[in-house]
Amino acid sequence: MIVYNETYVMDEAIKDEWLTWMQTEQIPAIMKTGWFNSYKILSVLDSPNEGVTYCVQFITDKEGNYTYFRNKHSNWFHQLHNQKFENRFVLFNTLMQLIDEK
């Protein structure tokens, strides 16, 4: 299993607007590309950063699915996000592979 993780750090003032937009617009559009099987939204409880931190994880079976998404769709989705919340968040991405799960 491959997990594409996007971690967002933002000011508390935009968290409700951001979360609603992600749940109703951005994530459904990403899922419609067909390259991910499921997703999770997590709130980071012990973040060392100021503000609010969320992780959005997109799960797929193959790294090739992520690579195709990154090459064909990722920039466009990041541009939409930047237009909506310009200068009000910090984003970093991580690609992970599940090794073991019980």
Identify whether 20 is part of a domain: yes
Longest dimension (CA), the chain: 40
**d(C-alpha 8, C-alpha 1), whole Å:** 22
Residue 89 lies in a domain: yes
Choose among 50, 54, 65: nearest CA to 5: 54
State the CATH number of the domain containing residue 54: 3.30.70.100
Domain for residue 66, yes or no? yes
Structural domain of 62: 2-97
Residue 11 lies in a domain: yes
What digits encode the pLDDT tens for the residues 6-53? Answer: 999 999 999 999 999 999 999 999 999 999 999 999 999 987 778 899
Q: Is residue 25 part of a domain?
A: yes
Q: Based on the structure, what is the number of domains in the chain?
A: 1
Residue at 102 is within a domain: no
Task: Tell me the pLDDT tens digit for each residue of 61-102.
Answer: 999 999 999 999 999 999 999 999 988 899 999 999 999 989
Query: What global pTM score does this model have?
Result: 0.92
